[in-house]
Amino acid sequence: MQIIRTRSEMHSFSALHAGKIGFVPTMGYLHAGHISLVERARAEQSVVVVSIFVNPAQFNDPKDLEKYPVDLDRDFAMLEKAGVDAVFCPARSEVYPNGVPALRMSYDEVMNRLCGAGRPGHFEGVLLVVHNLFMWVRPQRAYFGLKDYQQYLLIKRMATDLELGVEAVGCPLVREADGLAMSSRNVRLTAAGRVAALAISKALFAAAELWRKGETAAAVQAALNSLLTPLQVEYALICDADSLATVLPGAPRPARVVIAVAAFVDGVRLIDNVLLT
Amino acid sequence: MQIIRTRSEMHSFSALHAGKIGFVPTMGYLHAGHISLVERARAEQSVVVVSIFVNPAQFNDPKDLEKYPVDLDRDFAMLEKAGVDAVFCPARSEVYPNGVPALRMSYDEVMNRLCGAGRPGHFEGVLLVVHNLFMWVRPQRAYFGLKDYQQYLLIKRMATDLELGVEAVGCPLVREADGLAMSSRNVRLTAAGRVAALAISKALFAAAELWRKGETAAAVQAALNSLLTPLQVEYALICDADSLATVLPGAPRPARVVIAVAAFVDGVRLIDNVLLT
């Protein structure tokens, strides 16, 4: 497994494997969710590149950036075992040699909803870094977990709208045995927080079940709110899965909905969702 | 000279000539200013591609779009004579198969000044189409007239910040013998308007002369305003050539300034500038 630190090395590698690269961009501190993306990439492309870069441009809270867990040796071992061909882990100065650019890439409507409402500038930072990672890695396909559903939606649109020649593939959210959505942030939970956090997936599963049974948006929303009462909720919403617009009481049921939650447990921001199609 | 109408043909052409392409994006109705860009491209790159596309995304005024002059046969003849290898002139449905995307690429500070202040959405539309033209044409270098100085500045920053691998080259503004900056829009001027429009370049030359002599920003601004009195002026400003911030009275003189004017003559919007370094 090749470890690549600079943009120019990355360019040489991608030129050599043009048209064959499956790419998994990550911020490191990997878990089984990431490895499932690597496995999908391996099944579909002959060369697999994973990037590890904790992107300062997407952290609206500097404390969250500071606390983001890092363990490169452990990540490298996991990726080597998973059969990855190259890991691109550039320094910040390599990605942003002149600091974070002032260029903002935005989808005003989709971006300001859900996570975008509480994290101003977050998705602009995500789109910027993913765009540039695509330029360096030049993948055929790139794989994203549907846990970050809004992120996936925005990246997929950007890849199409900016003619990046990359197919963004959304892959199923991976959960712990008890239902908690896997996240690099879970390691920051206390034992009690770890138990409390289960309320998120439980509330989502219950809401999804009610929705499938044909309950109204208002009824599902009420159940969701009630089940999440013990937590500090940032949002808990039933949304059209394409526009992310909230499904209003009495409005027609969209063909595809996503029920999405962001909540704080032990001061750790956790997100989760269920996609109903 | 090859005439290319589709993105896929353009891709094939650029793959064949990778690393050798000089690119001149235009909206057609060419004049000597465009041809000077083509000549520069020919001198520096072995393959020259010109695009002709009247980009609806950058017209904030639908009437202006409607009135934009078109004469493809004349353009083709000029480009053939100038030794262009390929002309890319896609239909709107080829460039925007799903309509103009909602993605906005913006530099809030630089973009909202000068032309950006009066034409909301204009530069966002320019950056979008130039980004995507770069993706299809894959040039080594792209050539832009300094008449659209703000546009050049924004494109150059985008090409760097988004790692497009394209060097944006700014080329001198080309003038008619009497000083009027060449523009595809000049054809819409009446005979009287054509004469009245000369006030723009005259005012700029006089202001530049005063600035070079060391006059204060306030004095140069006053002269500029006075010389432009007969016209309907949108802006006439002395700006820092990098940030486009207006040079305020009493502030230190920047190393590089641009004096820029936008004015309406016969209802036709004309722009011009002088760059002082």
What integer pLDDT is reported at residue A250 of this predicted model?
83
For chain B, the average pLDDT equals: 96
What integer pLDDT is reported at residue A249 of this predicted model?
83
CA distance, residue B210 to nearest chain A CA (Å): 34
Find the angle CA(B128)-CA(B123)-CA(B146) to the nearest 5 degrees: 105
The reply to whether A163 touches chain B by the CB within 8 Å rule is yes
B105 and A105 within 8 Å at the Cβ level: the answer is: yes
The reply to whether B172 touches chain A by the CB within 8 Å rule is no
ipTM, two decimals, is 0.93
Rounded to whole angstroms, the Cα distance separating A115 from A149 reads 10
The reply to whether B105 touches chain A by the CB within 8 Å rule is yes
Pick the CATH number of A2-171 from 3.40.50.620, 1.10.1530.10, 3.40.1170.10, 3.30.465.10: 3.40.50.620
What integer pLDDT is reported at residue B64 of this predicted model?
87
The b/e string for A57-78 (b: 16+ C-beta within 10 A; e otherwise) is bbbeeeeeeeebeeeeeebbeb
B172-226 tens-digit pLDDT = 999 999 999 999 999 999 999 999 999 999 999 999 999 999 999 999 999 999 9
At the fourth CATH level, which superfamily is domain B184-271? Pantoate-beta-alanine ligase, C-terminal domain (3.30.1300.10)
- CB–CB of A192/A262 below 8 Å? no
What integer pLDDT is reported at residue A174 of this predicted model?
96
A163 and B135 within 8 Å at the Cβ level: the answer is: yes
B163 and A105 within 8 Å at the Cβ level: the answer is: no
Rounded to whole angstroms, the Cα distance separating A148 from B187 reads 53
The band of B251, judged by pLDDT with boundaries at 50, 70 and 90, is confident
Find the angle CA(B1)-CA(B5)-CA(B7) to the nearest 5 degrees: 115
At the fourth CATH level, which superfamily is domain A184-272? Pantoate-beta-alanine ligase, C-terminal domain (3.30.1300.10)
B105 and A103 within 8 Å at the Cβ level: the answer is: yes
Give domain limits for chain B: 2-171, 184-271
Query: Do the domains spanning A2-171 and A184-272 agree at the CATH topology level?
Result: no
Q: Report, as ranges of residue numbers, the positions in chain A whose pLDDT lies below 70.
A: none
Find the angle CA(A44)-CA(A49)-CA(A55) to the nearest 5 degrees: 125
The reply to whether B126 touches chain A by the CB within 8 Å rule is no
Least CA distance to A105: which residue of chain B? Answer: B105
Q: Taking CB atoms and an 8 Å cutoff, what residues of chain A touch B128?
A: 161-162
- Quick one: which H or E segment has residue A217? helix A217-227
Rounded to whole angstroms, the Cα distance separating A124 from B78 reads 42
SS (H, E, C) A28-82: CCCCHHHHHHHHHHHHHCCEEEEEECCCHHHCCCHHHHHHCCCCHHHHHHHHHHC
Provide the 3-class DSSP secondary structure of residue B155. helix
Q: Taking CB atoms and an 8 Å cutoff, what residues of chain A touch B103?
A: 105-107, 157-158, 161-162
Least CA distance to B15: which residue of chain A? Answer: A18
The reply to whether A88 touches chain B by the CB within 8 Å rule is no
Read off the pTM.
0.95
What integer pLDDT is reported at residue B22 of this predicted model?
98
Q: Taking CB atoms and an 8 Å cutoff, what residues of chain A touch B109?
A: 102
Active site residues of B: 34
B60-77 tens-digit pLDDT = 889 989 989 999 999 999
Q: Please, which residues have CB within 8 angstroms of residue A214's CB and are 6 or more apart in sequence? A: none
B112-159 tens-digit pLDDT = 999 999 999 999 999 999 999 999 999 999 999 999 999 999 999 999
Q: Please, which residues have CB within 8 angstroms of residue A105's CB and are 6 or more apart in sequence? A: A124, A127, A128, A131, A158, B103, B104, B105
What integer pLDDT is reported at residue A178 of this predicted model?
96
What integer pLDDT is reported at residue A251 of this predicted model?
85
Judge whether residue B250 has pLDDT over 90: no
Active site residues of A: 34
